[in-house]
Structures are given as C-alpha cells and as structure tokens.
C-alpha cells in the first residue's frame, strides 16, 4: 500500500470536488432542459387546442368557389323567374 502525502490527499480531494461540480452543472443543465421542455409542451398543447377550435368553426364555412357557383345558379334562376313573370 502506498503512503499518501498531504499534497496527494489534497489533489484527490480537489479532483473529487471538480467531478462533483461537473455533475452539479450537468444536473442544472438537464433541469433547465426539462423546464424548457415543459414550457414547450404547454405551448404546443395550447396551439393544439386553438387548432381544434378553428377546425370546429371551419366545419360550417362554405368555400369561395362553392359560393360563386351557388351565386351564379341563383342569379340564373332569378333571371328565369323574371322571364316567367312576363
């Protein structure tokens, strides 16, 4: 067994502190990442709810080209009825 000097012991303790500091730093970074992911998930949930709401509202909307076709048909019917009145 090797005899350790005070200097050897100080070096080992210093290395231990450095490793602990690295682990704490990594844990902080992962904690920050977890926090950020929680915020992102919350925002995505809100966006998803808004999209669901928009889709519900769009279910009852007629598209412009369909509207134009129906408008033309009504105008044609009105002309036919006007001719029929005379």
**Among the residues of 1-63, which ranges form H helices?**
6-58
Q: How many CB atoms lie within 10 A of CB 40?
A: 10
Domain boundaries defined on the chain: 6-61
pLDDT tens per residue across span 15-43 = 888 888 787 777 778 778 888 899 999 99
- What is the mean pLDDT of the segment spanning 1-17? 82
Prediction pTM value:
0.44
CA atoms within 13 Å, Cβ hemisphere of 54? 6
Three-state SS for 1? coil
Paired tokens of 1: 């067994």
pLDDT bucket at 82, cuts 50 / 70 / 90: confident
pLDDT digits (tens, 9 = 90+) for 65-79: 999 999 999 999 999
């Amino acid at each position: 067994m090797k005899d350790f000097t005070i200097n050897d012991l100080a070096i080992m303790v210093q290395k231990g502190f450095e490793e602990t500091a690295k682990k704490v730093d990594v844990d902080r970074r992962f904690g920050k990442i977890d926090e950020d992911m929680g915020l992102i998930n919350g925002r995505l949930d809100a966006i998803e709810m808004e999209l669901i709401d928009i889709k519900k509202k769009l279910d009852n909307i007629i598209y412009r080209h369909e509207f134009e076709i129906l408008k033309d048909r009504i105008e044609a019917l009105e002309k036919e009825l006007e001719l029929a009145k005379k």
